[in-house]
Amino acid sequence: MSAGMERRAVSRHLRLLGAQMRLSMLAALEYRVGFWTEGVVGLAWSLGGVVPLFVAFEHRSDVAGWGPWELVLLTGFFLIISGVYASAVQPAVSKSMTQIRTGTLDYVLLRPVDALASCLTAQFEPWSLLEALTGIGLVIVAAVELELSPSLGQLGALLVVLVSGLVSLVALGVLMLCASFRALELQNLTSLMETLLGFAHWPISVFRGPLKLVFTFVVPFAVMTSYPAQSLIGGLGWPELVGAVGTTLALAIGARVIWGRALRGYTSASS
């Protein structure tokens, strides 16, 4: 493929993203009650998940080496991840699963664009971004309270782990979608994922043994919330950085390969 064609393909996919976002926005505006059911409730849910952290501070001066404001910083990153999950990943995956069930995925596959790109932009919940915005606010407040003045290197590391965290979140979404090709009942995996995401509230240093490995390498919550906070506080070393990028690449490549195989087995539900 020539560079020109490649550039055209990229711009076409970007325009696809824009057009699908526009469509989702319009649909979201049709039901303004979504602001309350998706946005406010989602935020309340996530903030409710902080209660156990409060309880821990009732009885301890730190949680596994993390002080109160450091955990506020981590909570900020949690809200960003959770907001992106609720606004972009979960809706797109659920919508695509519905399309698999009803067979309207046919129309997605008939488009002259990458089918996975089409699925991942299938639906978008703008209201849930409220959560991500609150998260950004918390990160700023905590950074001010902790009197952080991150170096350029630290900001670079933050960027790397944040992107890694988001990419692995999307890759997990793709894997759930692939699973639902095999058996429709596996659609419940999104709720399992939501439950698990609750544990990204906690710093990775709290977990022990196999659970620590799982949350670092398989469902890498460490990469999503602990590492970004650590990158600002200081204490994120090269091993963690390399591990984060490696885990993310493995997840992303695995997801792409499995997606290709899942598509070959698509049976296109009739009616």
How far is the C-alpha of 67 from the C-alpha of 79, rounded, in Å? 18
How far is the C-alpha of 98 from the C-alpha of 46, rounded, in Å? 26
Hey, how many other C-beta atoms are within 10 angstroms of the C-beta on 141? 14
How far is the C-alpha of 51 from the C-alpha of 42, rounded, in Å? 15
User: In the bound complex, what is the minimum distance in angstroms from residue 266's beta carbon to other proteins?
Assistant: 7
Nearer to other proteins, 155 or 211 (CB): 211
User: In the bound complex, what is the minimum distance in angstroms from residue 9's beta carbon to other proteins?
Assistant: 8
Interacting stretch for other proteins, rule CB under 8 A, among 73-81, 130-138, 234-242, 261-269? Answer: 261-269
Q: What are phi and psi of 122, to 5 degrees?
A: -60, -30
Interaction with other proteins in 63-82: which residues (CB under 8 A)? 63-64
Query: What's the burial of 107, exposed, middle or buried (CB within 10 Å: 0-12/13-18/19+)?
Result: exposed
Applying CB under 8 A, does 2 fall inside the site for other proteins? no
- Considering only residues 45, 69, 133, 141, which one is a binding residue for other proteins as defined by CB under 8 A? 45
- Considering only residues 6, 7, 10, 31, which one is a binding residue for other proteins as defined by CB under 8 A? 31
Applying CB under 8 A, does 37 fall inside the site for other proteins? yes
56: which 2 tokens?
């821990």
Nearest partner of 184 among 79, 101, 82, judged by Cα: 101
Q: What are phi and psi of 63, to 5 degrees?
A: -110, 110
133: which 2 tokens?
């915005």
How far is the C-alpha of 31 from the C-alpha of 26, rounded, in Å? 9
Nearest partner of 200 among 166, 175, 234, judged by Cα: 166
- Considering only residues 6, 10, 18, 237, which one is a binding residue for other proteins as defined by CB under 8 A? 18
Applying CB under 8 A, does 152 fall inside the site for other proteins? no
Interacting stretch for other proteins, rule CB under 8 A, among 146-154, 167-175, 199-207, 234-242? Answer: 199-207
Applying CB under 8 A, does 257 fall inside the site for other proteins? no
Q: Give me the residues that bind other proteins (CB under 8 A), please.
A: 9, 12, 15-16, 18-20, 22-23, 26-27, 30-31, 33, 37, 41, 44-45, 48-49, 51-52, 54-56, 58-60, 63-64, 102-104, 106-107, 109-113, 115, 118, 183, 185-189, 191-192, 195, 198-199, 202, 206-209, 211, 264, 266-268, 270-271
